[in-house]
Amino acid sequence: MSKHEQIFVGLDIGTSKIACVVAEAGPDGRLDVIGIGTHPSRGLRKGVVVNIESTVESIRLAVEEAELMAGIEIKSVFTGIAGSHIRGYNSHGVVATKGGEVTSEDVDRVVDAARAMKIPADQKILHILPQEYIIDAQDGIREPIGMSGVRLEVKVHIVTGAVSSAQNIIKCCNRCGLDVADMVLEQVASSEAVLAQDEKDIGVALVDIGGGTSDIAVFLDGAIRHTAVIPIGGDHLTNDLVVGLRTSAREADHLKRKYGACMVSMVSPDEQIEIPSVGGRPPRPMPRQVMAQILEPRVEELYELVKAELTRSGYQELLAAGLVITGGSSLLEGMVELAEEIFDMPVRMGRPDGVGGLVDVVSSPMYATGVGLIRYGHNYRQTSSVAVGRGGPSVLGRMWGKVRQWFGDEG
Ligand SMILES: Nc1ncnc2c1ncn2[C@@H]1O[C@H](COP(=O)(O)OP(=O)(O)OP(=O)(O)O)[C@@H](O)[C@H]1O
Ligand SMILES: [Mg+2]
């Protein structure tokens, strides 16, 4: 079925929702979203699968919905991976070129040399993302193949993840009859969908603030420099409201989306809202500012942790394009304004971009990862380039077997 070769499916297995995005690639390289399915996610905690059965059920329902809308059968998906088990390292490798001119084989060898680092036994490599090549003494090279030189060096960002977490994602997909074409770090996927190339060139930090976690990726000179995960997301905001407003989690989430704000100064002291109570008691009126008083310190705490992470990365001063926030929680009123105050940098909300078709639906920041996965799949599946910024499955030229590696000999 040649039609299916043009179909890319992103399956974002998030803590709050499972989103399945189906896109068709046209001959001119454009991607049109032709189907979307979403379902509340029940089997994850802080970005990690903790209940296979419930996750499988949610995936099945999201995928069925997307299949129905797109009118196709989904067999293979690009899926995301996230959680506190993810580690990012910077590493480098050096080799001598074989013929005085850099070949793709030399590039494979030097990337291989860079991956030769000690990784804990329960972790495996998810991505090797080249940052720059250095040929003899010339640094800052993005496309090394064909250049003259005898000494080839590469700087890379290596991302590793817990074997068990990756296996569980693959298991869930397999149980729904889906093959995993590739597993992509969620903030790497999101950055494909919401960041512009010039932002990545001059320096930018992406923060995908979801339900369970906030995932960070830092870019400079077109390449990824730092990745990190902070185990705080929108669910923590909801929980604070449950306690502070004495209402159910469902209601708290609903109220947060409808009336929530994370800056007290943005809400008029006169505005009143109604809080549904638990246990059959009548609803209570309350100033809307009370919600902001509960949410502001928690968002502040989250942003302070992000800031500390950026300082730790050493790139904080180099981010000329500032900060881009995405993920469902970036929709909370005041998120951009409070970030501008705390980070003292330009901040914008990142909405998925670069696709056609059902754009109205997928332009919510909640779909950053889902859309990013199809863009990632589309960009890197066929290319054989190993240029900087092309951190996709082709980097080592043998990534078809990558997903299988998580099961070692079993696969
Ligand atoms: N309009 C809104 N205002 C405030 N918060 C919102 C809004 N819409 C969604 N959210 C919050 O966004 C969160 C879900 O975001 P998202 O869908 O990006 O998470 P996820 O990808 O499922 O989770 P994760 O990436 O952490 O695994 C929830 O906490 C939800 O309450
Ligand atoms: Mg997410």
On whether residue 27 sits in a domain, the answer given is no
What range does the domain containing 156 cover?
Answer: 87-161+398-406
Does a structural domain hold residue 98?
yes
Choose one of 207, 256, 364 to mutate for the ligand 1 pocket test, by most ligand atoms within 8 angstroms of C-beta.
256
Q: Is residue 384 assigned to a domain?
A: no
Q: Which residues pair with 323 in a beta bridge?
A: 205, 347
- Mean pLDDT in consecutive groups of 10 residues from the start of the chain, 411 residues: 71 98 92 97 95 98 98 96 95 94 94 92 93 96 96 96 96 96 95 97 98 97 96 97 94 97 97 88 93 98 98 97 98 98 98 93 96 93 50 41 64 33
Q: How many CB atoms lie within 10 A of CB 320?
A: 14
| Atom of ligand 1 at shortest range from CA of 18 | 22
Q: Which residues of 163-203 form beta strands (DSSP E)?
A: 179-185
Classify residue 58: in a domain, yes or no.
no
Which ligand 1 atom is at minimum distance from the Cα of 333?
A: 3
Cβ(329) – ligand 1 distance below 6 Å: yes
- CB within 8 Å of 78: residues ≥ 6 apart: 8, 9, 10, 11, 180, 181, 182, 183, 184, 189, 373, 374, 376, 377
Contact 194, 324 (CB under 8 A): yes
In-domain check, residue 110: yes
Asked if residue 111 is part of any domain, the answer here is: yes
Can you give the pLDDT at residue 379? 87
Choose among 396, 376, 318, 389: nearest CA to 133.
Answer: 389
**Per-residue pLDDT, 398:** 41
How many structural domains does the chain have?
A: 1
* Residue nearest atom 28 of ligand 1, based on CA coordinates: 211
Atom of ligand 1 nearest to the CA of 234: 29
User: What pLDDT does 5 receive?
Assistant: 55
Token pair belonging to 100? 């005085």
Please check whether residue 301 lies inside any domain of the structure: no
Q: Which CATH number belongs to the domain containing residue 147 in this structure?
A: 3.30.1490.110
138's tokens: 């010339």
**C-alpha closest to that of 399 among 38, 128, 11:** 128
Q: Is 109 a member of any domain?
A: yes
The CB of 10 under 6 Å from ligand 1? The reply is no
pTM to 2 decimals? 0.93
The residues, any chain, with a CB within 8 Å of residue 373's CB and separated by 6 or more, are 10, 11, 12, 21, 77, 78, 79, 80, 184, 189, 192
